Structure 1
Amino acid sequence: MTPSLTEVVEYGAFPGTFAGPGGQRHPLAVEQFGINGPDETFDGPLWASWGRPTKGAEQAYEFLIGTLESSGDLNRRDRALAGYAAGYLTADTTDLLRIVVAAESGGLALDDELHLLVRSWRTTWRLSLAPAPIVPDVPVEAEYRIACVTALLGEFLRINNTDEVNFEVNFGTHEVDLDVADPHDAFRAGWAGDGHWLIAEEANDEEDDVLWPLDTTSLEAALIESERNIVQAARAATTLWEFDDTTPEIPGDELASWLARDLYRTIATKVTGTSGTLLAFAKKFPLNEVLCGEGDSCLLLVGPERTALVYVSG
C-alpha cells in the first residue's frame, strides 16, 4: 500500500523540504516498496555490485541504473559501483521509498533527479542523485585516493568477523642512478632501505624480510594473479552457505577487481611521474596466503626518483 506524502512526513521519515542542488527540494509524491529479507545464502552488498542484487536491493538497483543510464552509457565499473551503493543502502532495512520532488512548492516534477529513502527501525537514510554542474576536473591527491581504495578493500577482504586485510602504502625518495645496464642491481647496491626491508642477495636469501626483484613480465603476471585472488577472497567472504568457485573475468563485474587495479595504477603513477621507468621488488607476491590471514606480503616499486612500499598484512 502506497502511503500518502502526509503520512510519510508525519512519520518522521522525510522533511517538508530538504536541501538539493541549487536550492530546496519540495516533495510532491511518494512510492513505497517493501524490502524482503535477504536471501539466506548471501551476505553483504558486494552481491549487488556483481549484478546479482538480493530481493531487498533489486528495486534500488533498478532505480540507480535507470537514472545513471539517462545521463549516458554505463561501463562495467559504473554498474558495479551502482550495485554496491544499492546493496549498502538497503542492507538490514524494511522499507524503500521513492520521493518525487519539485524545485518549488507545487512545481513540476524533476524527472532527472532520484531521491530514495530507506527505513530501518528508527533510522532513516536518504540517497539522492541529480545532474552535476560542469566544473573543471580537480586532481585528487594520490594519498587520499589510496586511503579510500585501501579502506574499501579492507571491508571486502575480511579474514573473519573482526579482522580484515590491511594495506599500508608509504612513499619515499632515492638518489640511485637507474640509467645503467642493470638497474635492479644498481638499486640493490644503493638502497639504504628503511631499516627493515632488504633487497635479496645470495647470502641472505633465507631471511624473512628480503625482497626479490621482479622483471616486467613477472610483475604483470603477479598483479593479474593477485587481482584474481582478491576477487575470489571477496566472493568467499560474502557467501554464507556455499562458495562460488567459478573463475572470475579480470576485470569483470567485481568491485574488488577495479579497486585492485586503481590502487596499483595510482601508486605506479605517483612513483614514475612522467617517466615509464619502474622497478619492482617483492616478498610473497602475488597475494595469496595473506588474504587468508597467513603471514604478510610486500611490494616495493621504484621510479627514477621515488619509491613506494606496499605492505599487506592479515
Structure 2
Amino acid sequence: MTGDGAVQAGSAGPSALDLATAMRLLPHWARRGDLRGEVVVGNASDLPADGAGEAVTGAGDVEELLTRFLGGDLDEAASALTAAIGRTVVDRFPRLSRVGTDDGIVLVGGSASGRALRLSLAPRPAEPGDGPDPADLGPGSGERLACVNRLLGEFVSVGENARIEAAVTFAEHGLDLAEAADPGTAVDEWWRENGADLVDDDEIYDEDEDDLDALSPAEFTTFLNVFEAGNLYRAAEGASLLGAISADEMESARPRFPDELLVAHLGRDLFATIFARLADGGPAPLVYGLDVNVDGHFNWGGGTGCLILFGGTEVAVVLIE
C-alpha cells in the first residue's frame, strides 16, 4: 500500500495531481491551519472498513463538500486547488461515497483496477502523529516549498521526461545589510567568496564572472511574469498532448485547460513562501539574477535560471530548471 496518491512521472492534465500533497496543502491555502487533509491509496483489503456511505457522483459534489467544510468563500487559489482535487478524485476513483463522521469528511472510492482511496479532512490533532505535521506548511516553511514544487512539477514539463523544479538552498550570510553603507558592494564581496558553494551548475555560474546582476523591482516582476507564462504554456502543451484541449484552444483566451489557475497560483506561492522566510517581518529581500530573462519575451527557456535573494539574515539561491 502507498500513502502518496501519486501517478507516474510524465503525466499531465486533470489526473496529474498528487492527491496526498494537494490535500496537505489545501487547509493552508484555505487559511484553515486547524484542519488536516490526508489521502491513503492502496488495495481495498488494506484500507479500514468505513462502512456504507452516501454516493458522491461528480467532481462538483467533491468540491462542494470540501468547500463547505473549509468554511466557504474560498479565494481563487484555494478554489482552484479544491476543484482540481474534485476532478482528480472522480477521474481516478469513480465509485465514490461519503462516510459519515462526527467532526470531518471522509470519502472512500474504488477504481476499475481494484485500487481504493480514503480521503479525509478533519480537525488537526493536538499532538501530531507519525505522519507529516501540517503545521510545517505555514508561510516560509521548507515543507510547503516541497509540496508546491511537487505539485507544480506534475503539470509543467521542461523536456522529455523532465519536470520543472525550483531547487532552493538557504544559507546564513552574516551580513548586516540594514547598516551597510553600500549593501550591493557587501553582497558582491560575500558572493565572490561563497557563490560557488551555493550554485552547483557550471552552465549558470561562472567563477570568472563573479558579480551578480541586481534586479530592480520592475525586472523581478518581469521575471515572475515570464516564469508564470512559461509554466502555463508548458502545462497547456501537456494538456494538449493528452487530448484535454485542442490545438486551437492552445491559442485561446484563458483559462485554456482545467488547471490553469492552479498552475499560476502554485508558481506564485513558491516565491511567496521564499519571501516569507527571508523577510521574517523585515524589509523585502534584495534580488539578484544569473542567466534569467528580464526582457519580458517568453521563449522555451524563459522562466528558468538562477535567482539569489538576500534577506535580513539568510540568502536563498533559487535554481529553476
TM-score by length of 2: 0.64
Partner of 1:201: none
Deviates more, 1:205-214 or 1:115-124: 205-214
What is the CA-CA distance between 1:208 and the residue it aligns to?
7.7
**After superposition, where does 1:245-264 map in structure 2 within 5 Å?**
245-246=251-252, 248=254, 254-264=261-271
Structure 2: segments with no counterpart, 5+ residues: 1-42, 128-133, 200-204
What is the CA-CA distance between 1:273 and the residue it aligns to?
2.2
Partner of 1:155: 154
Q: Measure, in 2, the Cα distance between the counterparts of 1:155 and 1:211.
A: 32
What is the CA-CA distance between 1:147 and the residue it aligns to?
1.3
Partner of 2:316: 308
1:194 aligns with 2:195: yes
From the superposition, tell whether residues 61 and 159 of structure 1 become closer, same or farther in structure 2 (CA, over 3 Å). Answer: farther
What SS does the aligned partner of 1:83 have? Answer: helix
What is the CA-CA distance between 1:301 and the residue it aligns to?
0.2
**After superposition, where does 1:20-39 map in structure 2 within 5 Å?**
25-27=50-52, 29-31=53-55, 33=57
Q: Is the 8 A contact 2:286 2:311 kept in 1?
A: yes
What is the CA-CA distance between 1:87 and the residue it aligns to?
2.8
Q: Measure, in 1, the Cα distance between the counterparts of 2:165 and 2:95.
A: 34
From the superposition, tell whether residues 163 and 305 of structure 1 become closer, same or farther in structure 2 (CA, over 3 Å). Answer: same
What SS does the aligned partner of 1:120 have? Answer: coil
Q: Which amino acid is 1:172 matched to? A: A
Partner of 1:44: none
From 273, 281, 295, the equivalent of 1:266 is 273
**After superposition, where does 1:231-242 map in structure 2 within 5 Å?**
231-240=232-241, 241-242=246-247
From the superposition, tell whether residues 161 and 124 of structure 1 become closer, same or farther in structure 2 (CA, over 3 Å). Answer: farther
From 102, 107, 113, the equivalent of 1:121 is 113
Q: Measure, in 1, the Cα distance between the counterparts of 2:91 and 2:219.
A: 41
Q: Is the 8 A contact 1:285 1:298 kept in 2?
A: yes
Deviations 1:81-119 (A, max 9, x none): 1122123223455x323245466xxxxxx9x74524131
**Percent identity (aligned):** 22
1:132 aligns with 2:123: yes
Q: Measure, in 1, the Cα distance between the counterparts of 2:65 and 2:85.
A: 14
What RMSD, in angstroms, separates the aligned Cα atoms of the two structures? 4.0
TM-score by length of 1: 0.65
What is the CA-CA distance between 1:244 and the residue it aligns to?
2.3
Partner of 2:78: 78
What SS does the aligned partner of 2:163 have? Answer: coil
What is the CA-CA distance between 1:293 and the residue it aligns to?
6.6
From the superposition, tell whether residues 156 and 195 of structure 1 become closer, same or farther in structure 2 (CA, over 3 Å). Answer: same
From the superposition, tell whether residues 17 and 101 of structure 1 become closer, same or farther in structure 2 (CA, over 3 Å). Answer: farther
Q: Measure, in 2, the Cα distance between the counterparts of 1:165 and 1:91.
A: 24
From the superposition, tell whether residues 210 and 119 of structure 1 become closer, same or farther in structure 2 (CA, over 3 Å). Answer: farther
What is the CA-CA distance between 1:214 and the residue it aligns to?
0.7
Deviations 1:241-294 (A, max 9, x none): 425234658xx9611221112111111222222311411111232489998479
Q: Which amino acid is 1:151 matched to? A: R
**After superposition, where does 1:202-217 map in structure 2 within 5 Å?**
211-217=212-218
Deviations 1:204-235 (A, max 9, x none): 99968864111223222322332233223222
What is the CA-CA distance between 1:311 and the residue it aligns to?
0.6
Q: Measure, in 2, the Cα distance between the counterparts of 1:139 and 1:60.
A: 29
What is the CA-CA distance between 1:154 and the residue it aligns to?
1.6
Q: Which has the larger radius of gyration?
A: 1
What is the CA-CA distance between 1:65 and the residue it aligns to?
2.1
Q: Is the 8 A contact 2:308 2:315 kept in 1?
A: yes
Partner of 1:244: 250
What is the CA-CA distance between 1:163 and the residue it aligns to?
1.4
Structure 1: segments with no counterpart, 5+ residues: 1-11, 19-24, 34-58, 104-109, 199-203
Q: Which amino acid is 1:272 matched to? A: A
